[in-house]
Structure 1
Amino acid sequence: MSHTILITGATGTVSTALMNAMRGAEVNLRALVRDPSGAAGLRELGAEVFVGNLDDARSLPPAFEGVRDMWLLTPNGPRAPENNMNAVWAARQAGVERIVRLSAVGAAHDAPTRSGRLHALSDREVERSGMRWTILRPLWFMQNLLNEAGDVSATGTFSLNTASARINMIDVRDVAECAARVLLDDPDSHHGRTYTLTGPRSLTFDEVADRLGLALGRSVTYLPVGDDAKRKILLGHGVAEWIVDMLEEYARAYASGWGDFATDTVAGLLGHPPRDIADFVRDHAAAFTPRAGQHGSRGTGR
């Protein structure tokens, strides 16, 4: 008998990939969105769409009625623990049996990033919720490189404030497939487990640039910049100051070696290795390719 899975953060990169990964599964997908204008694509993925806002607990009960499992993804920001609290409370009131939550690598009360510390609060709330739970903690998303696609396509360069850091990178599609595996398995199979998800190996951004160059057939160069320079770029593109501060904290942590490790968790869950950077670059080469009329101006990266 099919059951209902509620997807929060439904229009985001990870949740969209998750719904793609669950196509054809014998479940009822329900998507929670703030803005109904983006709902058409979700319906094409087979999801029933409900409008609700994790900032507003009163808007949530209709979306949770009849749900067995919830995929819980909260937006980055200072209200993340409140958003998590509202979702967990709505789930408890509706009789939801299981929460599968997207956390962040290294989430802990002493994490070097504000995001990691806030995720730790929400992880603990889910663990103490009385429902079955599983927590996924992925490392740096390969899809973050798409933020630099404008610069790569225009100038053949990209700039990050991560110095010569070695970072393990994971494709969002692998994160989504792991989440789908957990959600489609028996609710007891992964209860009480926290999975740290990584790609196959750590890379420097010089190595990433080499991979991009091979795929594109032209030179690509990584140009490390300082925190102030990257901050100016991000603020100039309208990124919120809280997010800029958070990204700066992550950059410092990664530069110190914080993300230089690998786990075999993805292979254990999926039965095959995670995608390599070469797979990602090949599949997304078009995003980094110059377009007609582009004459060396810097892309927005956003």
Structure 2
Amino acid sequence: MSRTVLITGATGTVSNALMNALDGTDVVLRALVRDEARADGTRERNAEVFIGDLDDARSLPPAFAGVQDLWLLTPNGPRAPEHSMNAMWAARQAGVERVVRLSVVGAAHDAPNRSGRLHALSDQETVRSGMRWTILRPHWFMQNLLNEAGDIAATGTFATNMASARIGMIDVRDIAECAARVLLDGPDRHHGETYTLTGPRSLTFDEVAGRLSLALGRSVAYLPVSDDAKRATLLGYGVPAWIVDMLEEYARAYVSGWGDFTTDTVAGLLGRPARDLTDFARDHATAFTATG
């Protein structure tokens, strides 16, 4: 008998990739979407769309009714634990059997960044929920590089405040396929597991630039900048100050060596190696070359 999976954060990068990974399987997809205007793309995946907001607990019960599995993704922000709490309460009230939760790399009460500390609170809530659960803790997304695509296309350069940090970055598609594997394997096989997901190797941003250069057939250079310079750029783009502070905390942690590790978890779940940065660069070459 097919199981109904509720996808939260349905219009975001990871949840979008997860719906792609579940396409053609026997699960019944249901999507929680905050904005009706952004729901059409979700409906095209044959997902049943419910309009609701994790910020408003009263909006959630209709979406959770009749669901067996919850894919729980809460966006970064100071109210993330509250949003997770609202989803978990709605899930318990509706009799949801399992939660597959997207956390973050290194989530812990003593993590060197506020995102990791906030996610640790929600991870513990998940563990103690009484439902079956699996937690995914992915490393830095390769797709974050798409934020630099405009500069790379226009100038052949990109700038971050990561200095010579080495990071075991992962392709979001691998995160999504791992989540899909967990969901498709049924509620018991992965119960109680916390999976740290990384790419196949740690890379510096100079090495990232080199791989982009090979994939694009043109020179790409990495320009390390100070925290203050990156802060000014992000604030200039309208990024909220809380997010800018969070990103700066991550950068400092990575510069200290905090992100220089990999695991073989993706290969263990999927039976194939994790995608390399070269694969990502080749598959997204158009984004890094478009100038109009």
Q: Alignment partner of 1:21: what SS?
A: helix
> What letter matches 1:102 in structure 2?
L
Q: Alignment partner of 2:167: what SS?
A: strand
2:121 matched residue in structure 1: 121
2:286 matched residue in structure 1: 286
| Deviation at residue 209 of structure 1 after TM alignment | 0.4
| Deviation at residue 173 of structure 1 after TM alignment | 0.1
Q: Alignment partner of 2:2: what SS?
A: coil
1:300 matched residue in structure 2: none
Q: Distance in 1 between matches of 2:185 and 2:290?
A: 43
| Deviation at residue 137 of structure 1 after TM alignment | 0.1
Identity within the alignment, %: 79
| Deviation at residue 242 of structure 1 after TM alignment | 0.3
> What letter matches 1:97 in structure 2?
E
Q: Alignment partner of 1:248: what SS?
A: helix
Would you say 1:12 and 2:9 are equivalent positions?
A: no
Query: 1:23-57 deviations in whole A, cap 9, x for unaligned?
Result: 11101100001001111111111210000000100
1:235 matched residue in structure 2: 235
Q: Distance in 2 between matches of 1:169 and 1:184?
A: 25
| Deviation at residue 290 of structure 1 after TM alignment | 4.2
Q: Alignment partner of 1:146: what SS?
A: helix
Within a 5 Å distance, the mapping from 1:166-245 to structure 2 comes to 166-245=166-245
How many residues align? The count is 292
TM-score by length of 2: 0.99
Q: Distance in 2 between matches of 1:113 and 1:277?
A: 25
CA contact (8 A) 2:43 2:49 kept: yes
CA contact (8 A) 2:127 2:133 kept: yes
| Residues 38-47 or 129-138, more deviating | 38-47
Query: 1:241-262 deviations in whole A, cap 9, x for unaligned?
Result: 0000000000000001111001
| Deviation at residue 3 of structure 1 after TM alignment | 1.6
> What letter matches 1:83 in structure 2?
H
Q: Distance in 1 between matches of 2:118 and 2:181?
A: 26
- Any gaps of 5 or more consecutive residues in structure 2? none
Q: Distance in 2 between matches of 1:170 and 1:46?
A: 28
Within a 5 Å distance, the mapping from 1:47-126 to structure 2 comes to 47-126=47-126
Q: Distance in 1 between matches of 2:18 and 2:243?
A: 24
Q: Distance in 1 between matches of 2:95 and 2:47?
A: 21
Where does structure 1 differ by over 2 angstroms across 4 or more consecutive aligned residues?
none
Q: Distance in 2 between matches of 1:216 and 1:85?
A: 44
1:295 matched residue in structure 2: none
CA contact (8 A) 2:150 2:291 kept: no
| Deviation at residue 129 of structure 1 after TM alignment | 0.3
Q: Alignment partner of 2:169: what SS?
A: strand
CA RMSD of aligned residues (A): 0.6
> What letter matches 1:206 in structure 2?
D
Q: Distance in 2 between matches of 1:200 and 1:224?
A: 24
